[in-house]
């Protein structure tokens, strides 16, 4: 039996956190003894943790300047302090601070793995959580293996591509379809063209880009509204900007929903406007719900939508291109693409993805 520790910054309502809690509940307990260490003991996804997982955290809350404080100490010192127990495999399930911590493991009997969920092409993203570029290179190269959530993410790696494998996120399509059939937590009025976005309310998700776009669509007579499902630090900024733009009646911030699929499945289009992604679980979930995707060009999107983009439409990653694309799709019904989206949604097989991950971990 392999003894594995997963490390993650926290269990807030993001895609990687949701994927991890689902994965932990799917790994074969006869093959793996699994523990989870969160740097901060917070997040909606704590409720999704399987009771069989040994869970602990380092800090009860996040605090201002934590990244700078961690950088005062070497990765090796942090690892010795916070992970004294021996494991066969230690996995950093995100880049940045968690990766820096796990890279400090010097035990020759422990295999170190870093799961990379976003493109590291940008120097700013690559060095986030590290003292400088040189330390980031040294830490990432110290890992025995790197796991990328899409081929695009692997190709964007600035280091150690020869150590990298692609393993797709396990997505429970059956559970999503079951939840999508439930009644939504609030009524969705008829007559409007309904857009849906899902994600943590952070700057990287680019939700602020939607506000001037929705204003222009309103001015051009499109009966469109947008449901933004998620919570985060940008909430008040988004609400203020929507009010200032005169679209507070068009943009609905629902907060974190236990079942976002009941809302998503009743919308006409799923929209992704992120500045950065690696593999958008939310876009894959939209396809499973039979909702076509309009997305800016991001790593992993062509792998999600399929050959010739049958599950949706990809536009250039700029505001004008996204506006033009939405103008085009809103002039026609989404019905034909809904069927294509549903067919593409059948591609996502949780059991197959989990088996691939188990095989990979057993081979380490």
Phi, psi values for residue 232, rounded to 5°:
165, -175
Amino acid 309: pLDDT: 62
Structure token pair of residue 297: 């060009």
**Count of Cβ atoms closer than 10 Å to residue 53 Cβ:** 16
The fold adopted by the segment(s) 173-345 is Rossmann fold (3.40.50)
> Would you state the pLDDT for residue 86?
96
CB 103 within 8 A of CB 136: no
- The pLDDT value recorded for residue 290 is 94
Decide yes or no: CATH 3.40.50.2000 for domain 2-170+350-362: yes
Residues belonging to the chain: 364
pLDDT for residue 261: 96
Instruction: Please list the pLDDT of the chain residue by residue as tens digits (364 residues).
Output: 999 999 999 998 778 898 999 999 999 999 999 999 999 998 888 888 988 899 999 999 988 888 888 999 999 999 999 999 999 999 999 999 999 999 999 999 999 999 999 999 999 999 999 999 999 999 999 999 999 999 999 999 999 889 999 999 999 999 999 999 999 999 998 888 999 999 999 999 999 999 999 999 999 999 999 999 999 999 999 999 999 999 999 999 999 998 999 999 999 999 999 998 888 999 999 999 999 999 999 988 988 998 776 789 999 999 999 999 999 999 887 777 888 898 898 888 899 999 999 999 999 9
pLDDT at site 215: 96
| Beta strand spans in 183-250 (E) | 193-198, 224-229
Q: Where are the domains of the chain?
A: 2-170+350-362, 173-345
pLDDT of residue 300: 87
The residues, ordered by sequence, that sit 6+ positions from 7 with a Cβ below 8 Å of its Cβ are 36, 37, 38, 39, 83, 90, 91, 92, 93, 98, 101, 102
- pTM, rounded to two decimals: 0.88
Are domains 2-170+350-362 and 173-345 of this chain identical in fold?
yes
Report pLDDT for 127: 95
């Amino acid at each position: 039996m392999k003894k594995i520790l997963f490390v993650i910054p926290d269990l807030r309502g993001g895609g990687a956190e949701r994927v991890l809690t689902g994965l932990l509940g799917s790994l074969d307990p006869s093959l793996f003894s699994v523990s989870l260490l969160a740097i901060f003991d917070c997040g909606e996804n704590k409720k999704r943790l399987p009771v069989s997982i040994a869970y602990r955290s380092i800090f009860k809350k996040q605090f201002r300047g934590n990244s700078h404080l961690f950088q005062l100490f070497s990765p090796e010192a942090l690892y010795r302090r916070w992970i004294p127990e021996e494991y066969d495999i230690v996995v950093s399930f995100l880049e940045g601070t968690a990766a820096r911590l796990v890279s400090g493991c010097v035990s020759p009997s422990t295999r170190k793995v870093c799961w990379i969920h976003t493109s590291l092409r940008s120097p700013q993203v690559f060095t986030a959580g590290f003292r400088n570029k040189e330390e980031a290179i040294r830490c990432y190269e110290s890992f025995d293996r790197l796991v990328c959530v899409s081929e695009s993410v692997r190709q964007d790696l600035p280091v150690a591509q020869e150590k990298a494998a692609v393993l797709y996120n396990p997505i429970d399509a059956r559970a999503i379809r079951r939840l999508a059939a439930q009644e939504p937590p609030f009524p969705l009025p008829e007559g409007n063209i309904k857009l849906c976005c899902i994600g943590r309310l952070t700057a990287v998700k680019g939700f602020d880009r939607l506000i001037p776009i929705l204003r222009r669509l309103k001015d051009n007579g499109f009966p469109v509204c947008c449901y933004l499902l998620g919570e985060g630090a940008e909430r008040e900024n988004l609400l203020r900007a929507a009010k200032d733009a005169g679209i507070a009646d068009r943009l609905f911030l629902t907060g974190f929903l236990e079942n976002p699929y009941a809302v998503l499945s009743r919308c006409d289009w799923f929209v992704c406007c992120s500045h950065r992604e690696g593999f958008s679980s939310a876009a894959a979930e939209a396809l499973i719900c039979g909702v076509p995707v309009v997305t800016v060009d991001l790593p992993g999107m062509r792998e999600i939508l399929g050959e010739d983009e049958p599950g949706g439409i990809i536009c250039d990653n700029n505001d004008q291109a996204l506006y033009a694309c939405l103008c085009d799709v809103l002039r026609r019904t989404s019905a034909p693409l809904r069927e294509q989206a549903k067919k593409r949604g059948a591609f996502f097989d949780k059991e197959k993805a989990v088996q691939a991950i188990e095989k990979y971990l057993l081979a380490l």
